[in-house]
């Protein structure tokens, strides 16, 4: 029922168009935003650059902070997937650098926030399956945000052609595959017989 309602809402939004809100509250504050950006993004091309920079910066956060999550995980299979995500983040940066000449210096807020959440899980959850489950949830949120961000970059990159979009689509497929691996670990760790 909820899925049907969501799909109906999605279809209704496509049929009627999406209302764009020109301004609204910002959790960081308008003064901080104005200082962080010299100008507003005006075009899809500029937004593509911002999206690619954001993806590059996310990989910096993952590369720098995933090891602590790995070390806090007991399940060896989960730890292996987390290590794979960390290694892939470093491997992905040159691919993204080939698509955007300047990776920018604006920190990726969603990746940073998710790792803050994971750190809180480590601090407040006993080591073992319960902590592993919590950390799987945090990293799956990270992968979900990454998959959606990659999709945005793919859609914005279509005018640049297949050679431009293909590497981004490959990154998205790999992120989806890793999410499915963590989903399988979640299912294994939450079986009732454990």
Within a domain: 86: yes
- The CA angle 13-15-20, to the nearest 5 degrees, is 45
Domain count, the chain: 1
Under the phi-then-psi rule, with left for phi > 0, alpha for psi from -120 to 50, and beta for the rest, what region is 23? Answer: beta
Within a domain: 7: no
Neighbour tally for 152: CB within 10 Å: 16
Nearby residues of 186 by Cβ (< 8 Å), 6 or more positions away: 133, 136, 137, 140
Q: What is the pLDDT of residue 105?
A: 86
Residue by residue, DSSP assigns 16-43 as H-PPPPS----TT-HHHHHHH-SS---S
Neighbour tally for 148: CB within 10 Å: 13
Q: What is the pLDDT of residue 45?
A: 92
Q: What is the pLDDT of residue 37?
A: 53
Alpha carbon distance 132, 75 (integer Å): 7
3-class DSSP state of 128: coil
Per-residue pLDDT of the chain (194 residues; tens, 9 = 90+): 434 533 444 444 444 343 333 333 333 333 343 445 567 878 999 999 999 999 999 999 999 999 999 999 999 999 999 999 999 999 999 999 999 988 888 889 999 999 999 999 999 999 999 999 999 999 999 999 999 999 999 999 999 999 999 999 999 999 999 999 999 999 999 996 55
Within a domain: 21: no
Give the domain extent around 127.
42-100+108-189
CATH code of the domain in which 115 resides: 1.20.1260.10
């Amino acid at each position: 029922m909820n899925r049907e309602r969501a799909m109906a809402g999605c279809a209704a939004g496509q049929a009627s168009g999406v209302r764009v809100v020109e301004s609204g509250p910002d959790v960081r504050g308008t003064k901080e935003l104005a200082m962080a950006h010299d100008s507003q993004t005006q075009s899809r091309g500029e937004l593509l650059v911002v999206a690619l920079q954001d993806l590059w910066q996310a990989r910096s956060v993952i590369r720098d902070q995933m090891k602590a999550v790995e070390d806090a995980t007991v399940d060896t299979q989960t730890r292996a997937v987390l290590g794979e995500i960390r290694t892939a983040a470093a491997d992905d940066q040159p691919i993204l650098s080939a698509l955007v000449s300047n990776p920018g210096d604006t920190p990726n807020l969603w990746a940073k926030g998710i790792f803050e959440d994971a750190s809180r899980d480590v601090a407040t959850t006993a080591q073992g399956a319960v902590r592993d489950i919590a950390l799987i949830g945090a990293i799956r949120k990270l992968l979900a945000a990454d998959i959606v961000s990659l999709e945005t970059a793919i859609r914005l990159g279509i005018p640049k052609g297949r050679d431009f979009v293909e590497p981004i689509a490959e990154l998205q497929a790999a992120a989806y595959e890793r999410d499915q691996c963590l989903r399988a670990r979640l299912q294994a760790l939450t079986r009732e017989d454990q």
